[in-house]
Structure 1
């Protein structure tokens, strides 16, 4: 028998050795593999990846959306050019008797330098220009001074007939043949050619005006028909769009014109030309200057200082927000990457046992953060920007005349900074579990043992020091506008609180010894598994800190404002402001809407203007202080430099003109019957007022029950800036009554009111008055909000009405929106963090079920652990919020000014809002516990351990 020997096949030859790759190539190749693995892992665990995306994308979307909203809302000078100058080159906003110091925008003006003499302050005269000249004469004078064509643009208001109502309408008067481009766009028909023709804008059509035929306009008690010749889009930079446009006001409507500007067409107006025209008292905005701004060295000192202060504040806010975004995002996504590292722990241990280096293991974890962080940041930025874009488009489509938004403006550089901060935050959050891989216990992980090492006893001390330094840094930042201190303070607060988390978890485990078994096991497990519990605590701390900071700052400011609030009127009563040439139409309309209201005229001492024509003389009245002569009591018509103290000139205490003491200097006029009702005078004092008596705030000014008044008239010269007496002062001695002590607290008198004259008194002594305001009260009681809304809608934008209802925050809805966003973010953080923590606890739940734990026990275990970490996170978040909230409130709650202009310095106010604090300390733990309890499955897989 023979044997056949089969030869073993030879191995293929080994490939020829290649040149050793460079270190950079190996590094790049390693990252390429890590990113590929991270992409596959993200697609494999879609649920976990979606949660990470939400945690990163949500704050990015909110911040980018907020930046885009703010940038779109704040229309820049360049974005206002089409509405202000159209296709022109510049617009003149005002003409002053003194030289103008302005910035790039003509609406930003400053007073003269105090070191300048009166002669150097005086503006050069414009040949042919007078304040009482007609619009055509003044335009011609400017046209001769300025190269190019000058076009006048006037704005006024009229009342138009809408059935039985006479609503207000804004009217722009401009020559349409001037070809002002986008400022005037005809959409149908033709332009008006006379003052009796008008075009209607989309705003007028929205409010019910016809687009053809005639439109009745109420001028006094007469109705004048205007012919509608077309429709057009007419832009204005301040109020968006008027209701109507015509060439010039009707003669009877000239007194209703309250604004006149001039647009310069022709050649560009350079900065040197702007400064030349400033010497003539002209304040203007030039298209060329806006598009080619001058160097900072060419700006006036005041403009440079203001811009520099604005830049410093903007840098501080940007740095603070950037630091907050970075830290909050890092803390929010911490649980996600902690779970990711937990899921990968066994596979990473296997890789390490097979020779993988620690840096390769870390790159595997960081690769996941890079893939998900970049994707989430981009998605969040796009969602935030698209939300603002969609909202802006919808708003403009519904209300094209609105000035709430300007052109869509998404700030690219700030948005990129937000993206970078979010990506770095995600990498930072993943870096924490990645750094632990250097101490990876391969044998323990393979056996399923995963217990955190003993906590570092030095770490809590470092945390306390960092927290204290952070608190100091935040206070330094808000008091001295220090960017570096602000960033360092935010990092110190948050980092110090994070360093305290392990110790608080250990303490919670020790304190739970007397609790039921489920709670005891849960808290001790959280203390043992700090690598899992700490990121969840940090995430909840971040959301709690945001909510606590905003709510404490808001509550502190609200309590401060409320405690120093001075009522402007009697509770439930109001005031209505109207144009002096429209008294009849306004009163008729209000009485038809609210027949139970009583309108009491509240005139002021003064003379009426006729359009732009100043009165020949204006009246003045002063109260003579006992012991002062007539000459000492004359008003100081030329204002001093700055405000003087109330005791600086004891002989000039109360008057309607030339009184510059920051005290109770104002004079109010009202009917005698209203004085008695409003100030609740007794019968004797009421009889004194009815007999032409006066009401004085201080009994020391009327020691014998008599008041000595001085009255006369003066004229103010616009060109010289000086006032001169027109008539000799006249002395009047009348009976006087001291004002009741509770008048200011009741709102019957402001803290700046010094004397009250009756209407009958001014009529008897021939003191001119003008009515532009009504005191209004309802005979049935307090004015209701429904009636106020009806009257306000009838008045429109040109009139105003205010009703005293106690302190109400002017920014109430904005603050509620901010708190709502912070609360929403906290709830989302709670939901996702709890879900991520429970995802890593599934093996523990299986172990408990295997040893006989019932579903109820497991639910109590999960709920107790979720509540424990939520309480710890809430306590740390409130600690951060207290420091940051007080730091924000401190500069705004130490000073206040009363209605007379006197500044008061008080101790800062700190308010603790109960509802947000209860939400953090009770609501969030309850929500987390409920989610954890409901997520426990009825029949867990008890045979599967680990991964």
Structure 2
């Protein structure tokens, strides 16, 4: 009984410690055995960077606006003189797979170099040795249908390459990547060569550097930053500089900005809370277990007293049993926890896509967990030892329990503990007190609920009048034997509270991430856009390929308004065709973006940002004005009947109310010549077309499209429409094979037309959350099962009485099942209510931290969206499955026949 929670705690400890990479392990996965990795930041001027190389900013706005000189290798220029440098080139292209075309990351590096050791881990096969040989990640082989020994060609190339080995990236197991020797796949091309159609992939170059004694110091990093080069240094990672020596932090402090990476880890807070509740569950579960064991040994203890033993001997016997059981539980639980971690580690790694570091066993932490088990066994035996020593020899030998009065002080102490604990937890959430205060307050409130358990059990007993015979008898038995029932209920309560706290916190965090996620299209919809000029005639073939390869239910063909003579895009590009622009009424334009706008105060800027005219769309489209029929509204999930009917009848539809005034929208046709010659403020002049439009309901999402013209309205206005895209809805999510086949079909057509499919928000799994979920589920199920066993063991006398009076096995099984089910149900109900407090407190603490950070960073003073979502599905599963499972388990293990109890000698 003690070993089960110890298994969970030790397994969680080893799992979390093993998943935490040491600075040396983390930097080795990034830069191998080199001293530093130098990468161009893409900024032509000097930069400030974080010590770990995870972020940077330009020194000034002027430096930020500067672009690197074309052809200049800034990263190479920052390599110290006399250092060994290994070039690492990266890029991406599409590879011809078994099914079609697969978007793939490419990397060129000499894998035989000692500097690469640690960056990639070979799984099978060998490293490239000859020209045309490459190695690929396991994720690439799985997605492409290829294998070690297969050959492939990149898109646009006639050269064949052979895969001679498979490897994995320890920090990104799901990355689709190919690694090749230098000069194999990547070709740095300038604009002229790319325009001429020369095959090749543009490469981004970085350098692994080996300097010598001392490594790449922080002063060397700052020197490289002056050239716009970002550095990830081993020496800096192992011995970070003081905050005062980091220019980026000094800049942030001067502007009042806080470091977003400095937020306390939420997983640590929820870990402390769940583990604390698990420790409480150990104490609560072990106590009644020893009490039951002591009662079953009353006759033996009575014989000790009858043969001259005094109370000290009886206490010593019971305490020695607790010490031995605690020591055995420590050894078994710790060993089983380590084995459980080894068994679950591959599953957790594959789920999150990251390999753990070295198998990290912390002897002191495991010893502390083991000592906790020993101490728990000893403390759990204290009360039963005292109780057993106080019983008379006669009562021990006859088995009479006597009459016990309820403690009248305990309920008031429980109420005080609940109120004080809740106040402390909420104070820790609203004040800058940290997660430790939240966990401590939650634990105190939990102890208060435990103290109230006998009273709450009595309140549950009042529901028995509405129950059938067997559950009513089981409930009354539980109420009359509160000394047995209350600790078992409290044990299930503590375990369930940890599960509920974890589930509430996890679903609340997921709801926040879901709200922050910006979908580019409705879930289950997609679009294909033609990104090449002069190939509009190929759009029909692209559309047919989409309908053929994907499970398309509705396809909406979309065109844009062309300004200029037919074929103008073939001259030098679409810029010679001019553009069609929606003219927004002046009084509906955002004052912040108007030319010649006055200087606004900070308060005015915050107020205007909330103005409906200044709403910033997070969606993008190649054209805000498109020509399409009502099928486009279906693809955009616009279901308003009036809007659909208007477009179907030939009337233009506006999806953005800022573009419409008095039921009309203006479209200006601006020629390329007017665009080039106009130099004044505002928009270039052009020919205006006014359309009567139907305004879609407020809140309609056009996903970057503002006005939809039906083909008849565009033709009546004399506008020329050119096809450029298709939006579509799918009957189901496409498979990876279908995606690759479609990419291959579009490639055979000979155009660049990327396909985007919105799959919706997909929550990310973390090691901490997965480990805690497994741990909480293990403790909850174990606590319910153990409480079931305790209740059945203590009720064995009642079952024998039923057998003595001739009750059939069905009655005995039913009563036993309901007895255990009632205990589990009461514990789950109280634990569900108790587990909400720590999760809510932690979410409130996180809301306060984010709000303080946003205010200090100048983002705004609005309260951030940090929702608190109750996991009703988890509640339902706990309230139904745990009691039902406990009842069925008890009924299954209850023997059909039981020997009649022998009458004890008087």
After TM superposition, the score normalised by the length of structure 1 is: 0.70
Q: Are residue 938 (structure 1) and residue 877 (structure 2) matched?
A: no
Shift of 1:430: 3.3
Go from structure 1 to structure 2 and tell me whether the alpha carbon gap of 1:516 and 1:234 turns closer, same or farther (over 3 Å shift). closer
Q: Which residue of 1 aligns with 2:872?
A: 913
Q: Does 1:170 align with 2:105?
A: yes
Distance 2:905 2:784 in 1: 25
* Deviation sequence 1:6-29 (CA, Å, 0-9, x none): xxxxxxxxxxxxxxxxxxxxxxxx
List per-residue Cα deviations over 1:758-779 (Å, max 9, x = no partner): 9999xx999xx999xx65415x
Of 163-172 and 911-920, deviating more is 911-920
Of 620, 628, 633 in structure 1, the residue corresponding to residue 594 of structure 2 is 633
Q: Write the distance in 2 (CA, Å) between the matches of 1:590 and 1:97.
A: 42
Please state whether the residue corresponding to 2:87 is helix, strand or coil.
strand
Task: Name the CA shift for 1:669/1:502 in 2 (closer, same or farther; >3 Å).
Answer: same
Aligned-pair distance for 1:535?
2.5
Residue 573 (structure 1) shift: 1.9
Query: Residue 706 of structure 1 is aligned with which of 662, 666, 670?
Result: 666
Based on CA coordinates, which of the two structures has the bigger radius of gyration? 1
Gap regions ≥5 residues in structure 2: 190-196, 563-574, 634-642, 674-678, 745-752
- Alignment-derived partner of residue 573 in structure 1: 525
Tell me the equivalent position of 2:608. 647
Correspondence for 2:210 among 265, 268, 275: 265
Q: What's the offset of the Cα at 1:496?
A: 1.3
- Give the corresponding residue for 1:368: 321
Task: Map 1:842-921 to 2 at 5 A.
Answer: 842-847=796-801, 849-850=803-804, 858-859=812-813, 861-887=815-841, 911=870, 913=872, 916-917=875-876, 919-920=878-879
Cross-structure match for 2:738: 790
Deviation at 1:278, TM superposition (A): 2.9
Any conservation in 2 of the 1:86–1:181 contact (CA below 8 Å)? yes
Q: What's the secondary structure of 1:168's corresponding residue?
A: strand
Secondary structure of 2:623's partner? strand
Q: Distance in 1 between matches of 2:372 and 2:892?
A: 35
Counterpart selection for 2:425 from 460, 474, 478:
474
Alignment of 1:436-447 (within 5 A): 436-437=387-388, 439-447=390-398
Using a 3 Å threshold, how does the CA distance of structure 1 residues 81 and 168 change in structure 2: closer, same or farther?
same
CA distance in 2, matches of 1:473, 1:341: 38
User: Whole-Å Cα distance in 2 between the matches of residues 917 and 684 of structure 1?
Assistant: 46
The 2-side partners of 1:910 and 1:346 are apart by 53
SS at match of 1:372: helix
Matched with 2:31 is 85
How far apart, in 2, do the equivalents of 1:57 and 1:493 lie?
25
SS of equivalent residue, structure 2 residue 830: helix
| 1:450 maps onto 2:401 in alignment | yes
Structure 1 distance, partners of 2:317, 2:758, is 65
Is it true that 1:336 corresponds to 2:289 in the alignment?
Answer: yes
Shift of 1:91: 0.9
Give the match for residue 802 of structure 1.
757
Tell me how far apart the structure 2 counterparts of residues 70 and 147 of structure 1 sit (CA, whole Å): 42
Residues 79-228 of structure 1 aligned to structure 2 (within 5 Å):
79-95=25-41, 96-97=43-44, 99-109=46-56, 122=63, 131-134=68-71, 137-143=73-79, 148-162=83-97, 165-174=100-109, 179-182=114-117, 183=119, 188=126, 190-191=128-129, 197-201=132-136, 203=138, 207-209=144-146, 215-219=152-156, 223-228=157-162
**SS in structure 1 at match of 2:297:** helix
Cα 1:775–1:311, aligned 2, differ >3 Å: closer, same or farther? Answer: same
What's 2:550 paired with? 594
- 8 Å Cα contact 2:4-2:333 kept in structure 1: yes
Distance 1:735 1:364, change over 3 A: farther
| Contact 1:463–1:497 (CA under 8 A) maintained in structure 2 | yes
Name whichever of 588-597 and 381-390 sits farther off: 588-597
Contact 1:103-1:109 within 8 A present in 2 as well = yes
Measure the CA separation in 2 of the matches of 1:704 and 1:825.
Answer: 65
The 3 A distance-change label for structure 1 pair 214 and 528 is closer
1:485-496 mapped onto 2 (5 Å cutoff): 485-496=437-448
CA contact (8 A) 1:621 1:709 kept: yes
Q: 1:410 aligns with which of 339, 347, 360?
A: 360
Q: CA deviation at 1:264?
A: 2.0
Q: Which residue of 2 aligns with 1:539?
A: 491
CA distance in 1, matches of 2:592, 2:820: 81
Q: CA deviation at 1:921?
A: 6.0
The CA distance in 2 between the partners of 1:793 and 1:902, in whole Å, is 49
Q: Contact 2:104 / 2:177 at 8 angstroms: preserved in 1?
A: yes
CA offsets per residue over residues 67-104 of structure 1, 9 Å max, x none? 54455556555324344322221112442346544333
Deviation string 1:629-668 (CA, Å, 9 cap, x unpaired) is 99973499x9999995472699x968xxxxxx64689665
Give the stretch that moved more between structures: 507-516 or 529-538: 507-516
- 1:792–1:801 contact (8 Å) kept in structure 2: no
Deviation (angstroms), 1:436: 3.2
8 Å CA contact 2:492–2:824 kept in 1: the answer is yes
Mapped contact 1:91–1:284 kept (Cα < 8 A)? yes
Say which of 793, 800, 812 aligns to 1:839. Answer: 793
Change (3 A) 1:600 1:931: same
Where 1:492 maps in the other structure, the secondary structure is helix
Deviations 1:663-703 (A, max 9, x none): 689665178333754245666798676xxx98743255688
Deviation sequence 1:305-359 (CA, Å, 0-9, x none):
6599445756644532342221122233344322222233343444456665656
What does 1:812-823 align with in structure 2 at a 5 Å threshold?
Answer: 822=776
Q: Greater shift after overlay, 423-432 or 462-471?
A: 423-432
Measured at CA, do residues 403 and 829 of structure 1 come closer, stay the same or move farther in structure 2, by a change above 3 Å?
closer
CA distance in structure 1 between the partners assigned to 2:463 and 2:881 by the alignment: 19
Q: Note the C-alpha offset of 1:456.
A: 0.9
Question: 1:391-442 CA deviation, whole Å, 9 max, x = no partner?
Answer: 556899xx9x994324344362655554454444444433442443464344
Paired with 1:549 and 1:294, the residues of 2 have a C-alpha distance of 38
- The equivalent residue for 1:500 is 452
Question: 1:749 is paired with a residue of what secondary structure?
Answer: coil
Give 3-state SS (helix, strand or coil) of 2:90's partner. strand
- More displaced, 297-306 or 875-884? 297-306
Partner-residue secondary structure (3-state), 1:790: helix
> 1:579 and 1:70 mapped to 2: Cα distance?
47
Deviations 1:707-738 (A, max 9, x none): 5699999xxxxxxxxxxx99996244443566
Note closer, same or farther for the CA distance 1:139–1:831 as it changes in structure 2 (3 Å cut). closer
Instruction: Summarize deviations over 1:575-603 as a string: whole Å, max 9, x none.
Output: 46999899999989756623857586899
Aligned-residue RMSD, C-alpha: 5.7
- Compute the displacement of 1:934 (Å): 5.7
- Contact between 2:99 and 2:145, CA under 8 Å: does it hold in 1? no
CA contact (8 A) 2:585 2:659 kept: no
Asked if the contact 2:822/2:883 (under 8 Å) is kept, the reply is no
How far apart in 1 are the matches of 2:456 and 2:609? 61
Deviation at 1:106? 0.4
Aligned twin of 2:566: none
Residues of 2 paired with 1:770 and 1:903: CA distance? 43
Q: Distance in 1 between matches of 2:821 and 2:629?
A: 63
CA contact (8 A) 1:153 1:174 kept: yes
Match of 2:572 in 1: none
Which has the larger displacement, 228-237 or 582-591? 582-591
Distance (Å, rounded) in 2 between the aligned partners of 1:832 and 1:892:
36
Q: CA deviation at 1:498?
A: 1.6
1:459 maps onto 2:394 in alignment: no
